[in-house]
Every structure is written in structure tokens, then in C-alpha cells.
Structure 1
């Protein structure tokens, strides 16, 4: 079972769902939430991007960062680049190419403003954490290199919020390439967690000429890895990962190339693990739609 906890199978008529045993300190919180004695923390809108590449020897690979252990949320976990929406992400001055915010809203089941914020957050956070930038001088081009002191100064300004994403693009004469992203999944942090995110997952191929790097102070290690290998390491307890990361990697393991992933048609449904008390112990129960990815836990 690795270090993720013991497996639980709960009978619910004909349905079987998988669950992970939570540490003892969660039990009181779960009981309070279930009994209505405590209110869940509101979930912040967020975006995360699975950056992909085709490797000559290893095939399809995904880029992962390991969060430093001092982080308040998911310390030590391997994650994809991403983060919370900045309200300024939807400001009117963002130059845009590809599907419109309205079209993205239909894909993500979000209103137009939120869809714009999510796409902008996806591109901004990926640049802030990896230097991969899904933008170019025109709607049909992409910058080929984001290394250098001037790029780093802009990245720092985005991080400390002295520069908005729209201002960054405008200053450099760049257009956001929303057509380089594809929607992949929608996960909400369980109600028992003290920090919660309502996160849309995107996928994107790394643009030619760019290199993903560890430039974030939030990570202490990065890796390009085959999705199947990463999921196996997590399920064996070698790499710590949150359930959405494992499920996403398991899904991506079914594809051979970046082009295959980008061509996949996805129906975006909400996945939100729930908590239950069984025989005095607290368990996190996976959504029925994700059950197959946890069959080996």
C-alpha cells in the first residue's frame, strides 16, 4: 500500500469505491465536518498544467516538481506547475489568440470571466515555475527561449505581483496562445482540508526551443518522467503525490505521444474526494469515476 494509507472498500449497493486511511489527527475534523459542527474552507479557483514532451528514447514524458517540505500545502509532493488565480488575470489588456474565453467557458463549465482567469493563470503559473511560456509575438508563433536576466526580472515581478500578466505580455509585445492548451480534468480539494482549491487541469506540449527549468523557490527537485513510471512510483510509496496527480498520470499513460494527448476528447467532470468515518477511523474516499486508477492501492 506504500505510505498513502490502508485501502478500504465500501459497499454501496452494487458500487464499490476505494478509500485511503487518513492519519488519526484528521478524525476529529472529519467528524466535525460530517456533523455540521465545522464549515469547510472555501476552495480558491486555480489552474495547473501538465507540460509534456516526446523523448526519443523514453517516449511521452511529463514535467513534475517536488514541493519543498516547508510549504503549507502538499509539502514534499510531486506536482505539476500551477497555482491560484490572480484576479488581474482576466484584465482586458491581455492579448489573446486561440479559442475565446467564451469557448473555454463552455469546455470548462465556467462563466467567461472565470474561464479567462483560469487560462491566464495556467500560462502565467507555468512561466513563473518553469520558464515555459505559451505565448508568442503573433497568434501563430511562440517565443523560443525565455532564459536571461531580463526574463528573470519579469518573472520576479509577476511573482511579487508588481507586474500583472497582461502588463507582462503587453510590455513584451506577446500574445497568449490559448490554442496550445487543452482542458483535461477538474478536481476540488476535499472539504476536510484546511487549504482548498477548485482546480482545472490543462495539458500542453512544451514549445520548440524552450526548456523547462526549476526556477521556483517552492520546489527542490524537478523531473521529466514517463507518466506510467511516475504513477507507479507514487503507488509504491516512493514519490509522494496527491490523488489528482496520480489519476492524471495514470490517464496520460494510455497515450504514446504529445499529439495523441492533445487530440484526445475529454468530458470535463468534477472530481471531489470525500471523507468518511468507518469503524472509528477516517478515510478519504475516491470519486467513483476515478476508482479504476486506485485498484492497486
Structure 2
């Protein structure tokens, strides 16, 4: 690692934590990224990714139930276009996890119904490949995106010095009924429902690799006993602080620091020139990464 070179432009991104009540309490759906991925290969993540230009299509606002662009932008603290983050979260959840956060005339769309499951599987493949945009899927199936049931609670920015940088907004939502999540076996190769405390323990034991925002999100939801409790708290959040970790150099070594740490203003280092962000994860002391309420 060396000192920071030219700044890298931030890309907008969205991530969604899908929650349910398991036999032992609150569970969250997690995916394991492909080991050969050029971005955080092998890491456990939540469904998410970059906001695509098509996520900003103007015809999407009328089918985003419970959220207008004005409201979404106000929540995110941007001038306009905020609704695209919600759309991106819906799209990425469908692509990576096979969960479609959308309604038809009967409520949440039923993806498990035998006679239509093949059709939805085909739609998923087309959306994933870019052949079918979300606006076209909504028109084709008469869908309304369940944006009002997705609650913004966290904002993390990739440290300076990384070859790829994202401003990622995190959302909470409940798992829809009649949908069975399943990884796409391409970008992600495994999936599981896991209690937040268990995932944190496995990360600290070296059994699960995670990025700091993932760890912090798990610590945030671990405070709640049920999905309803977590979602209720997220609805009440009025301000979401942006969190910008840094990789600083001190005494010839590099490590992650967070806002509020004594050496947060130290020299910034370049992170993982190969572009995988693997080095960033090596510098993380997961016991120091905490969640926050955002209030």
C-alpha cells in the first residue's frame, strides 16, 4: 500500500437487509459473494449494488408505492433522484436473492406459486442480464414496488484511496410471504438466514469475511428481538449520518479508523490496488465496528 493517488469518483449504491422472525429470534438474509469476484470476493453481504441509470427512469415514480421522489430525496439529503436508491435495492434483491419487493393486485407478488414460478425465474434472469428493466417488468406484470416498506437507516462511504468507491445507502425490510430467497449462483454462491449475533461471532472467529458496513449493520439490528421491532425503530429515524471509514498509516502500518477515533485525521493510504478490497477487510477489527441508531 502507498499514499493516496488521484481521488476516485463515488458511485451511488443501495443495499437491503431482509429480515424475518426465526425460531430463535430475528434473522437476516445473507449472501456469500463468488470467490472469483473482482469485488470483495468471498465476503458475506446483503443484497445490493450500484444504482443503474435505468433505476432513475421517470416512469418508475408512479409505481413506487409509499414513496415519492421528493420524499425519498428528502430522506437521503439529496436534491432529487433519491427514489432511484429504493428502486436499485428492489432490483438487486430480485437479481441476487430472488426476492421481489413488489405488489400485484393481491398484495406481495407470489413467486412460489407453481404455475408462475418459471415465469418469474425467467424475469429474474432477464433483469439480471439487463434485458429487462424494472420499469418494463412493472408494466409487464402490473407491479407496484414496495418502497414504503423499505426503511433507510444507514449510509456508508468507501474509504478514500480505494480503486472503487461507493456511497451506499442501507435499507431494512421484512421478507415477503410466498417467496423463497435463493442466491443467483453467479455473483453470489451461497445464502443463509442467520441471527445477527451468530453472524458477528462467526466473523470474529474468522469463519465469515465481512466489510465494516456489514458488521455495523448486524450490530444495529442485533439490538432487536423481532423484525417488527427493528422495522419500527427504522421508521422513526429522522437523521442518518454518513460514515466514512479511513485507512490510515501509522508507524509503517495501515489500519481502519472510524469517525471519532483519535487518529482519524492521519495520512490516508491506497487500498488494494488490485481492486478487490481484500486489503480493506484485513485491516478491520470487527470488535471495534459498532452499529448506530441514526437518530
Shift of 1:149: 2.1
Query: 4+ residue runs of structure 1 moved beyond 6 angstroms?
Result: none
Show structure 1 runs of 5+ residues with no match: 1-25
Show structure 2 runs of 5+ residues with no match: 262-283, 291-295
2:76 is the alignment partner of 1:108: yes
2:241 is the alignment partner of 1:269: yes
Tell me the alpha carbon deviations over residues 36-62 of structure 1, each in whole angstroms, 9 at most, x when there is no partner: xx112212101000001011x221000
**Aligned residue number for residue 164 of structure 1:** 133
* Matches of 1:284 and 1:116, distance apart in 2: 32
CA contact (8 A) 1:128 1:216 kept: no
* Matches of 2:289 and 2:29, distance apart in 1: 24
2:94 is the alignment partner of 1:121: no
Shift of 1:292: 11
**Aligned residue number for residue 3 of structure 1:** none
Shift of 1:279: 0.6
TM-score, structure 1 length as denominator? 0.83
* Matches of 2:216 and 2:156, distance apart in 1: 10
Tell me the alpha carbon deviations over residues 9-42 of structure 1, each in whole angstroms, 9 at most, x when there is no partner: xxxxxxxxxxxxxxxxx2x1xx2x1xxxx11221
**Aligned residue number for residue 287 of structure 2:** 294
Q: What SS is found at the alignment partner of 1:288? A: coil
**Aligned residue number for residue 20 of structure 2:** 53
* Matches of 1:108 and 1:93, distance apart in 2: 21
Shift of 1:293: 7.1
Shift of 1:87: 0.6
* Matches of 2:289 and 2:154, distance apart in 1: 22
Equivalent residue pairs, number? 260
TM-score, structure 2 length as denominator? 0.83
CA contact (8 A) 2:216 2:289 kept: no
Q: What SS is found at the alignment partner of 2:136? A: helix
CA contact (8 A) 2:110 2:178 kept: yes
RMSD, aligned α-carbons:
2.1
2:110 to 134, 137, 144: 144
2:221 to 252, 258, 274: 252
1:278 to 239, 250, 254: 250
Shift of 1:130: 1.1
**Aligned residue number for residue 272 of structure 2:** none
**Aligned residue number for residue 9 of structure 1:** none
Q: What SS is found at the alignment partner of 2:55? A: helix
Shift of 1:296: 8.4
Shift of 1:288: 2.8
